[in-house]
Amino acid sequence: MDPIIVAGGAMTPFNRRKDGSSWRDWARDAFSGALADANLQHQDIDALVVATESDFFGLQLNPASVLADELALFGKHAMRVEGGGASGQLAVQAGAMQVLSGAARRVAVLGVETLASTLPTRDVSMLYGLSFDAWTDGMTGIEPTALYALSILAFNARTGATSRDLATIAVRNRDNARHNALAHLPLDITIDDVLSSPMIAAPYHRLDCSPLSDGAACIILARGGDLPTGGRERARILGMGAANDRVRLGERIDAGHFGAKPLAASRASAQAGVALENIDIAEVYDSYSGAQLQALQALGLSQDVVRDERDGRFRVDGGLPVNLSGGLLGQGAPVGATGVAQILSTARQLEGRYWGRQPSRTPRHGLVDTHGGIATLCAVTILGAP
């Protein structure tokens, strides 16, 4: 496909807001920052795509209409995209499709979620349980960490991964977040700190889990000819793919394998014309430390993910730096904003102007991976340097 330009973008800090601000304020901040980064005005935007996971978190039905009003986008095409944890990246893909189809020239994709400051943590966890199969999972009282724990136990049994391997990821991603001023959990911790933190659902300790975060992220998508001339060169979206798996973990052939990710990755790779072995950096969905290992293997980015993890391949100075933003574990996880922020971070790394930890070697291609459920709905996007 003809590449779509990531014309500009901005995000708020991901954290727990205690200043009395709301998701509407964060959305305005991210949108105005994205406009300024793209050197565009409100009237230049043709369409708005909003990503939020649940009406319960923001206590607002029909958020796309409300946010279009808040952003002074009138007479525009406005829509909302929802796909669990994949909501943000699916919104980016929906925005790119609008540009590709000719339905819009310049599209603002805005992800926002309030998870940390509106509802008690217990209520958020209960609502997350309903994001799986509410009849068989959520209403039985099972929570996401328990389902992810069952999945990683199956993965560990097959691959030989250990709790120490998972803790290494939790440490590294939080260390990456220390270079990111917008990150929620930039921590200087050790493997022993992770292993001694409270057990939530074996083998996952508290520090193996991503936080509940507030925040917003926005990017502007367009073709190069529909942007102001004389500006900087921008990263490009080269390929997109998505796929789904069985919702209920027990009905999968291998509970530890993220079976929809290979399909999503191969579709993105084919559309981009970029082989997966030529990916230089990756932002993957590490809602839990072990999910990062599962994702890297399923995406085809590693043939022996446990060996590669132990050899340091995914460090900033390794052959495939992963989650230099800090990932969900370090940067944070306001669900609707997560995938948008991943795209923004990767675009900035490819442009050489990322505000956080930059890869040791100049990257040419980056992959972004997001999913909802236990990798039930998966989305992959491949970006190219300017």
Predicted pLDDT at 127 = 81
Tell me the per-residue pLDDT of 344-386, one tens digit each, with 9 for 90 and over.
Answer: 999 999 999 999 999 989 999 999 999 999 999 999 999 999 9
**CA–CA gap between residue 105 and residue 74 (Å, rounded):** 16
Please give the C-alpha separations between residue 14 and each of 34, 44, 162, 200, in angstroms, as whole numbers: 16, 28, 30, 23
Residue 32, amino acid: S
Per the model's pLDDT, the better-predicted residue between 116 and 14 turns out to be 14
The DSSP secondary-structure symbol of 287 reads S
Predicted pLDDT at 1 = 55
Task: Give residues with Cβ within 8 angstroms of 337, minimum separation 6.
Answer: 11, 14, 30, 51, 88, 111, 112, 113, 215, 216, 217
- What residues pair up with 109 in beta bridges, in sequence order? 49, 219
**CA–CA gap between residue 63 and residue 32 (Å, rounded):** 18
Starting at the edge strand that comes first in sequence, how are the strands of the sheet with 377-384 ordered?
A: 77-81, 47-51, 106-114, 214-222, 4-11, 236-244, 377-384, 365-372, 281-283
Round to the nearest angstrom and report the end-to-end CA distance of the chain: 16
Nearest to 368 by CA among 339, 334, 331: 339
What pTM was computed for the model?
0.96
Specify whether the CB–CB gap between 72 and 42 falls below 8 A.
yes
Predicted pLDDT at 351 = 97
Say if residue 378 is exposed, middle or buried (CB neighbours under 10 Å; 0-12, 13-18, 19+). Answer: buried
Region 146-161: mean pLDDT is: 97
Tell me the per-residue pLDDT of 40-89, one tens digit each, with 9 for 90 and over.
Answer: 999 999 999 999 998 888 888 899 999 999 999 999 999 999 999 999 99
What secondary structure does DSSP assign to 141-188, as a single string?
Answer: T--HHHHHHHHHHHHHHHH---HHHHHHHHHHHHHHHTT-TT-S----
Nearest to 89 by CA among 227, 230, 217, 223: 217
**Would you say residue 279 has pLDDT above 70?**
yes
Per the model's pLDDT, the better-predicted residue between 187 and 143 turns out to be 187
pLDDT above 70 as % of the chain: 99
Residue 191, amino acid: I
**CA–CA gap between residue 383 and residue 386 (Å, rounded):** 9
Nearest to 41 by CA among 108, 88, 104, 91: 108
Predicted pLDDT at 137 = 82
Structure tokens, 292: 């990062």
In terms of DSSP bridges, do strands 47-51 and 204-205 run parallel, antiparallel, or are they unpaired? unpaired
Tell me the per-residue pLDDT of 193-218, one tens digit each, with 9 for 90 and over.
Answer: 999 999 999 999 999 999 999 999 99
Residue 10, SS3? Answer: strand
**CA–CA gap between residue 381 and residue 294 (Å, rounded):** 18
Structure tokens, 57: 């978190």
Neighbour tally for 16: CB within 10 Å: 15
Predicted pLDDT at 48 = 98
Helices (H), the chain: 23-38, 55-58, 63-70, 87-101, 121-129, 144-159, 163-177, 191-196, 260-272, 289-298, 305-311, 327-330, 335-351
**Would you say residue 229 has pLDDT above 90?**
no
Tell me the per-residue pLDDT of 218-227, one tens digit each, with 9 for 90 and over.
Answer: 999 999 888 8
**Would you say residue 99 has pLDDT above 60?**
yes
Domains of the chain: 4-119+212-226 (3.40.47.10)
**CA–CA gap between residue 121 and residue 144 (Å, rounded):** 13
Tell me the per-residue pLDDT of 243-259, one tens digit each, with 9 for 90 and over.
Answer: 999 999 999 999 999 99
**CA–CA gap between residue 144 and residue 257 (Å, rounded):** 17
Please calculate the CA angle 258-261-265 and round it to the nearest 5 degrees.
Answer: 160
Specify whether the CB–CB gap between 301 and 321 falls below 8 A.
no
